[in-house]
Amino acid sequence: MQMPPQASSPRTTEPQDPAWPRANRVISVPDFELDERLTPEQVDFLETYGFIRFKRFIPRARAQELYQSVLEIDAALVQKGADQLNGVPLIFGKRADGTRYVQRIPFASLQHPALHEFLQDRRFRGIIETAGPGYRIGEDERDGMVINRFRNEPGAKYKRLGWHTDSLRDVFYLEKPRRYLNVGFYFTDSPLEVGGLRVLPCTHHQPISSMMTRKAHFLDDRPDPYELAIVAEAGDLTIHDGRMWHRTALATVQGDASERCVSYLPLMDGPIKRKHEGSATPFYFHLKSLVGY
């Protein structure tokens, strides 16, 4: 069985090391664990900073099994010659030998029973309760469960992702920006050297004008002096508020050692707008294509 690329350690430096963003030296990220539902302390942390991390959501061995499901989806899509799912474009990379692999897979839980089963974990019900009344898991809405495989190598198209807020999607769907919680699950280790998620803490409280214009969406990928790095191990789970500014940093290592495989699951409220094979490609994907995604 092929195992996912794993770093030797999920944290090769300490937050007080100058290699870490300044915010990591000021804000302590607790090693929370998730039971049936979030505790009041955990809710307070999420509401205050806009993100939270849960250690050991599932065992590492189970995360590796789910990673194998990702590889099976990848192989099937490449063999089929697919270029989109339900109107959402796939993003491909090329290995050194010229073979293709999928770097961004939308609606992933609809492509493999193991991933759909994973979402039946009762703890997701507790997360939905925290999101608020009327929220649901959007398996077949927007982009569904998205799997990102960021790699730093010449043939990779998805190496990093510039600053953005997920509220941009609401605008292009002609809807008012609303609370949008992204639940991230880590199939592989994500130490500092593989780049990974960077957030601007507390910006989920910003006004809509700042949410839309503080940075050039996707074009600006420069480090911000106030950003915080979220690191994780295989099997960890994170939540971040999509209204906050966030980006994915470029890995400082290359090849297999640089792979960061993580899924993001949107928690939705409002009108149900299911996607299907005949769905049109949303306009904002055409904008993303202009910056190489």
Q: Do 33 and 11 contact (CB within 8 A), yes or no?
A: no
Q: Is 184 helix (H, G, I), strand (E, B) or coil?
A: strand
Gyration radius of the chain's alpha carbons: 18
Q: What is the DSSP letter of 259?
A: -
- Beta-carbon count within 10 A of 165 CB: 27
Greater confidence (286 vs 282) lies with: 282
The runs of H, that is alpha helices, within 214-293 are 283-290
The tens digit of pLDDT for each residue in 242-256 reads: 889 999 999 999 999
Going from N- to C-terminal start, the domains of the chain cover 63-268+279-290
Two tokens, residue 236 = 């960890």
Q: Do 93 and 153 contact (CB within 8 A), yes or no?
A: yes
The tens digit of pLDDT for each residue in 174-185 reads: 666 667 889 999
Two tokens, residue 143 = 């982009």
Which of 2-6, 61-65, 208-212 tops mean pLDDT? Answer: 61-65
Which of 132-146, 176-190, 211-225 tops mean pLDDT? Answer: 132-146
User: Which CATH homologous superfamily contains domain 63-268+279-290?
Assistant: q2cbj1_9rhob like domain (2.60.120.620)
The tens digit of pLDDT for each residue in 48-63 reads: 999 999 999 999 999 9
Instruction: Kindly tell me the sign of the dihedral angle through the C-alpha atoms of 213, 217, 222, 224.
Output: positive
Of 98-102, 213-217, 231-235, where does mean pLDDT reach its minimum?
Answer: 213-217
Q: Is 203 helix (H, G, I), strand (E, B) or coil?
A: helix
Distance CA 242, CA 181 (A): 6
Query: What's the pTM value of the predicted model, to 2 decimals?
Result: 0.90
